Amino acid sequence: MKTLLHKKHYEKLLKDLGEEDKERVKRALEFIEEKHAGQYRKSGEPYTAHPIEVAHMLLELDMDITTIVAGLLHDVLEDTDATYDDIKERFGKEVADIVEGVTKLGKINFKDTEVHKAENYRKLVLAFSKDLRVIFVKLLDRLHNMKTLNHLPVEKQLRIARETLEIYVPIANRLGLWKIKTELEDLCFMYLYRREYEEVKNFVGKSRKELEEYLKRFFIPRLREAIGQAGINATITYRPKHLFSIWQKTIRKGIRLEDVHDILGVRVIVGTVQECYLVLGVVHSVFTPVPGKFDDYISLPKPNLYQSLHTTVIGPKGRMVEVQIRTWDMHERAEKGIAAHWAYKEGGRAKDSGIYSWLRGLVESIQGSKNPQELMENLKLELFSEEVFVFTPKGDLLVLPKGATPVDFAYHIHTEVGNHCAGAKVNGRIVPLNYKLQSGDMVEIITSPNKRPNAEWIKFVVTSKAKNKIKSALKELERERYVELGREKLELLSSKLNLSRETLLEVLTKESGAKNEEELLLLLGSGRVSKERVYSLFKKPKEHKEKEERLEDVLNMDGLGSVLHNLAECCTPLPGEEIFGVISRGKGLMVHSKDCPNLQYVLKNFPEKVLRVNWTRSEGLHPVKIRLLVRDRVGILAEVTSTIAKLGANITEARTKSLPSGSAIMDFNLQVRSYADFLKVRETLQKVEGVESVERVMG
């Protein structure tokens, strides 16, 4: 075969393949040799050295032959005249789809603006969510490019390294690709923080020899002897921590490099899970464990499938040593992540559903994001956040982002559980819904068919699923309110126009283009079909129309005549209370309650702009906001809302917030006919058991 390939690359790739797979790879090699002919990398090597190295790394990950062939071909669509159909015809649709997916990722230009970053993240996630093999090829393509980054100009080195650290490293971590993640991190570290990299590298170089000597002479022999006496067959090795993690530890803990004592860790690999715990017992019987330095990732695996026991002990000479204990299967998974469980030959899915569950959630979060800021927030939660491990009452384990609340838990269980969440118990005790869950908590959700999502929840939930579901539910509740308001408007118009409800409904449905009665009521309630439009349809006499509009005017004030006037939204003055008008440029006269803080400011600084005005008549309902401070008890919200309803006031919005003190704040937006009605509501609510204060909210 005529070749421009370096012999070492070619032989390394074919060495471990079976005969059938070798033939597929040879055909791919011939294809890329033809297509990339005359192309060279910045290093001076033939361009084909790069895809062959990517394919070899995929082989080391035990990827299937389809992915390896796609790795060889991953650049031909972008850099040669080859087409998708060419690849599909020669190597099959699966290979062609993977190559196309990698090509699309390669065209993403991650600019610095939040809008561009968000859109590019969206493209990236959606591309590899269709087939995870796309991201395996892309990650190894990026890894080999990072290894040869020194041949590019400095500005490109910095841009590519920063992009790698911000985007590809978190994805490698989330997929459990530890080896790829750590190599990428150290390479990014070298280019982005050269001085710090050299400092850490020199420190490790000086310390490693002495630490290796310590482990070989004092720690490992004693550990091996104790494990052997327990009758356990184990492989004991040590590993250096990668440079980036050592540097991050100094920043996270605020310590000097000289204070980092665990740059080498001991790893014990055994045959079974039971032996892992037996070895743990041996380790703790021989050496003194350090309090707070034990993690059981076997019982509580990380979301990226990682499993191992971690413990730190005091070894001979008083030195701290970290020991990791795992089975061979766990070790393979720790190194290769989800790639260790690949099973495309078994129907096109990895054996573990955890990653796919996470991936579905990630896709759902970006599809539910309404703007770039929200998308970036959701992605950071999915890719960067730490986790808490909590349990259902049946003992099932759930993994949620750090800071998650019972409401996040409820929506994780099921949308309807979240929508009807009325309270929560953690470890048998009732907690506020904004309580931050801790690892090990047992969470029980209390539901009520009458409970609905609260806009206040959005302020404390952290999962994108909970946020999206709450917003969706609130939107539906708003729709229901508009429909009900539209029903009231329809009845009022029917009475004023002296038309039957059915006649009016038929005409308006046809005229508005509404599909059904509910849609028409929504249009009426939201104001998209106005009363003026309805009047014009029935050609109402001008004098009759003017009379009706005067009756619907919320107020008339002495001395105003035709002066433009509006009720100030900051205080929403009520008929019957003392009011003042403030002259406002472009807005005419703004009418304020005498107790309004904004009015007091104007009176003090610009008294010439204030006029005294009086109510003469007002019709309809008027908004007012009130805040209650109550002792939190079961049923108090229901009693308060019932009291308000009995007094004839209409609740348009309600929000509650529990306080750590055992009290709660209740905010209501009400509609009342007059100031006297408001005073009656306030006076009656103050008599409800548990209500400590009722205040009108202004400003």
Q: What positions carry a catalytic annotation?
A: 78-79
DSSP state letters, 7-41: HHHHHHHHTT--HHHHHHHHHHHHHHHHHTTT-B-
Strand intervals (E) in 577-649: 579-584, 588-593, 610-613, 615-617, 622-631
Q: Which two three-digit tokens encode residue 416?
A: 């309807």
Please identify which residue in the block is written with the tokens 């004693």: 222
**CA distances for 597 relative to 162, 197, 604, angstroms:** 50, 58, 11
| Residue 96 in tokens | 């062609």
In degrees and rounded to multiples of 5, residue 385 shows phi and psi of: -75, 150
* 127 touches 102 (CB < 8 A): no
Residue 292, classified by CB atoms within 10 Å of its CB into exposed (0-12), middle (13-18) or buried (19+), is: exposed
Half-sphere exposure of 1 (CA within 13 A, CB side): 17
d(CA 17, CA 14): 6
Cα 158 to Cα 53: distance, rounded to the nearest angstrom: 23
Contact (CB, 8 A) for 588 and 613: no
CB within 8 A of 680, min separation 6: which ones? 647
C-alpha span between 360 and 375 (Å, rounded): 15
Q: Are strands 429-431 and 421-426 parallel, antiparallel or unpaired?
A: antiparallel
Strand order from edge to edge, sheet including 650-658: 650-658, 663-672, 622-631, 691-696
First-last CA distance in the chain: 82
State the Cα–Cα distance between residues 487 and 489, nearest whole angstrom. 5
- The torsion angle over the Cα atoms of residues 417, 420, 423 and 427, rounded to 10 degrees, is -10
Distances (CA, A) of 659 to 629, 638, 665, 668: 10, 18, 8, 17
Give how far Cα 618 sits from Cα of 54, 454, 558, 573, 680, Å. Answer: 78, 33, 13, 12, 18
CB 59 within 8 A of CB 69: no
Looking from the CA of 31 toward its CB, the CA atoms found within 13 Å total 26
- In a 10 Å sphere around its CB, with 0-12 CB exposed, 13-18 middle and 19+ buried, how is residue 550 labelled? exposed
What gap in Å lies between CA 354 and CA 89, rounded to an integer?
34
